[in-house]
Amino acid sequence: MSSAIILHVMLAHFLVPLLSLLSLSAGQYTFSDNNGFGRRFDGIGGLSGGGATSKLLPGYPQHLRDQILDYLFKPSFGASLHILKVEIGGGSMSGVGSEATHIYYDGDENYERGYEWWIMREAKKRNPNIKIYGLPWVFSGVVSKGQSDSPYTFPDRTVDYIIKWIKGAQDHHNITVDYIGEWNEQNYNITYLKMLRTELDRQGFSNVRIVAPDDYELDFEMELARDMLLDQELSDAIDFFGVHYSSTLSNMGSLQWGKQLWASEDYSTLNNDQGARCWARILNQNYVNGLMTSTISWNLIASYYIGMPYQGCGLMTANVPWSGYYEVSPTIWTTAHTTQFTEPGWMYLSHHSGVGQLVGGGSYVALASPDNKHLTIILETMSTTGSDSTCLHEELRPYSVQKQNVTFTLDGSFKGIGMLHVWFSQIGTQDQNNSSVFFYYQGEIKPNPKGEFELFMVDKNQIYTLTTLATGSHGTYPAPPGPEPFPFPYMDTFDDVVEHQEPYLVAPMAGSFEVVTEPGSPSNKVLRQMTVLPPVDWCETENFTLALLGNITWTEFTVETSFSLDVLNASEGVFVAQRINSGGCYTVGGGGLLFFVFPSNGTFQVWNDPRRATLLSYGPAEELTRTGYNKISLKVKDGFAEGSVNGKMVFGLRMPASPASGFAAIGTAGFGHADFDYISLLPS
C-alpha cells in the first residue's frame, strides 16, 4: 500500500472536525482508476452468536421464518448479506445465552445440535456465494480435559476440535467454511495459530482463511503485527487482521504490514434510527478512516427474549415467535445501500479518487467490479453531534453535517458511464416533522459529456447509492401478525422436538440442553442437560446450569417438572426457579428464587440467586427417590412461596423483596447430565 494512502488516512482523523467548522457547502469529487485502486472489498456481514442471539428464530412459523431469512440473506431483496459469521458453540454462557457444542466429552460427537447449522444452510439456500465464518466464544471442556480455563493448554486438542467443526459443516451440511477465528476477544496464542494453519493445510482445508486476533484492543492488533514481523510462519498463518469496535480507526502498524483489515465485529447498537445512522456511517468510514475491507454486525438478528442484555442490537428483531411478529428495522435498508450493489472481490477506488470525506460532513466510497464494467458510489452524511449516529462501543470526535451541493466527475475507465441508478434514504432528522425514508429508488441520473453530475442540497443523515447496477430492490412482504405475550399457561413434553435440538422456547443461559430419546423408552423424549465438563468460559460463570423461558415481568405462578438422574455423568441435583431477572453473561450476578433438590442425600435448598450466595431455606425432602423420576414444583402466590416434591410440600416462605419479577427456569447443581420429562407453567 502506498504511503500516500496511509498519510491520507492519518490526516482524515484530524481534519474532519476542522472541515465541518468551515461552513463549506459545496465539494467536487472525482472518481477515477487513473491512480489505480485501493484495497479489495471483502463484504458486509452479520453475526449469529456471541451468544444465542438467534435462539428464538427457529420457533417462528415456517412462512414467517422464511420471510425473515429473505430480508437477511436473499440477494437484491433486503440486507443481502455477503458474510454470515456464526458462533462455534461451547455449551456455556456467552453474550445473551449459551450455544450447543459438537463435542461435550471424549467419545461424543454430533453435528445436528443447535441452530447455527440450520441458519448456515438457510443462508446458503438463498445465496450460494455467501461466505461462512466461524468463531468460538466458549470452548467445550473437552479441549482442556476439564482441567484448565485456557484452550491453549492442550493446543492439539483445540485444533482437532475446531477442524472437526469445519469438517462437520462440510460432511453433514454441505457447507464450506471460508474463515475461522481464534477465540473471541481473548489473547491470541502463537503456538495455536501456527498449529491450526498447519493442520488445516494437512487435512485438506487450505481454503479456510484465519482471522485474528478478533479482539477489541488496537494494541493487540499492533502486538500481533509485531509478532508476525518477527515470525514468518505466524505471518503466513494469518490472512486477516480482525478488530472489534475500533471507532473506524486502525493501528498504523497493521496497516503497513499489508494484510487485509476487518471490522470483524462492530455495531452492537439498538436498531432504531440512531442505530441505522451508526451503521451507515461505519459501513463507509471503516474503510475511509481505517481501510477495513469488511464490517460485520453483532448481531445478525435480535431473536432473544425481551429482558436479555443488548435488547434490539441486531440488523432486525424477531423475538415473539409464538405470535409471529417481527420488525424489519432501518438497519436492513442501511445495509442494502452497500450490499445490493457490490460483491466481495470488488475493488475500492483509491483515496482522493473515489474514497474520502465530504467537505460538509459525511463520507463517500466507490467500488468497481473486477472487470471495471460496474461502479457503485455510496455517500453518507451522518452527523455525530450529540448521539445522532454514535454506536454503543464507540469513541468519536463529534462533527456536524451541513447542507451541501456535491459535484461528481467520472474519469478514467468510468468516464463513459452514461447513467447511474439512484437509491436514497433519509434516516430521521432533528426536525421531528420530517419522517424517515428507507431505500427509496429515485430514478436515474445522467452525467454530462464530461462525466459530471451533481446532487443538490444533500442534507444530514442521508444515504445515496449511485450505481450502474439495475438489480436493486426494496423487498417487501405483508405485515406480520402483531405481538402477543408469551403463551400462558404453558406445557412442553418435548415429544414433538427433533432429537438433539433445543425446544424452541427454552433458552439455555448456562450449560446446554437438548432433546434425546429416553433410554429404554423409545416413545418418550426428554430434555437433557449436556455439559458435563467445566467449559473454557468467556464470561464469569459458576458451577451450575440454567435454561429459562417465559416473561421477565412475571411475578406469581407455578413452575413444575419431572426429572431423573439415572444417567451416566449425572449432576448432583436439579432445580426449578422463578423470578430469574438476568441472562447471558449477567446470569451469575442476577437473582431469583431457586428450589434445588438432591436425590442422593434426600435434601432441598432454596436460594435467592443462581450462584447460591444467599440461602433462604434448607432441609430434608424425604419424598425424593434416588432412582426414577421425581416431580418438583415451585409455587408463588400472594407473596408466599412453597415448594413440593412428588406432591408433598417441603418448604414455605415469604418471598424476598428482590427480585420482584422474572423468568421461569430449570437447571442443575453443577455440571452433569439430568433428564427433564416435561416443564409446565401454570397459574398459582
Just list the catalytic residues. 185, 265
* CA–CA separation, 469 and 441 (whole Å): 12
Task: Using the structure block, give the residue that is written with the C-alpha cell 485502486.
Answer: 37
Name, in order, each residue with C-beta under 8 angstroms of 130's C-beta and a sequence gap of 6 or more.
Answer: 73, 81, 82, 83, 84, 123, 124
Closest of 681, 666, 634, 661 to residue 545, by C-alpha:
666
- Mention every residue, 6+ apart, whose C-beta is less than 8 A from residue 464: 377, 378, 379, 422, 423, 424, 455, 458
Question: What is the DSSP track for 496-549?
Answer: TSPTTS--TT-EEEES-EEEEEPTT-TT-EEEEE---S--B-SS---SEEEEEE
User: Could you count the other beta carbons within 10 Å of the beta carbon of residue 7?
Assistant: 11
Question: Closest by alpha carbon to 300, among 79, 114, 481, 555?
Answer: 79
- Give me the amino acid identity at 420: L
Peptide bond into 51 cis (omega under 30): yes
8 Å CB contact between 327 and 316:
yes
Closest residue by Cα to residue 295 from 225, 233, 245, 356:
245
**SS3 of the chain: helix, strand, coil, percent, to 5:** 20, 35, 50
Centre a 10 Å sphere on the Cβ of residue 301 and count the other Cβ atoms it contains: 28
Amino acid at 681: L
Residue 560 in grid coordinates: 413444575
Return left, alpha or beta for 324; rule: phi > 0 is left, psi -120 to 50 is alpha, else beta. left
- Helix residue ranges, H only, 231-272: 232-237, 252-257
Cβ pair 307, 250 in contact under 8 A: no
Identify the CA nearest to 583 among candidates 533, 548, 628.
548
Which residue is listed with cell 410440600? 649
What are 514's strand-pairing partners? 528
Q: At which residue does the C-alpha cell 442437560 appear?
A: 529
Angle between helices 116-126 and 155-173 (to 10 degrees): 50
The kind and range of the H/E element at 222 are helix 218-230
Q: Are 643 and 606 in contact (CB under 8 A)?
A: yes
Give dist(CA 675, CA 566) in Å, integer: 8
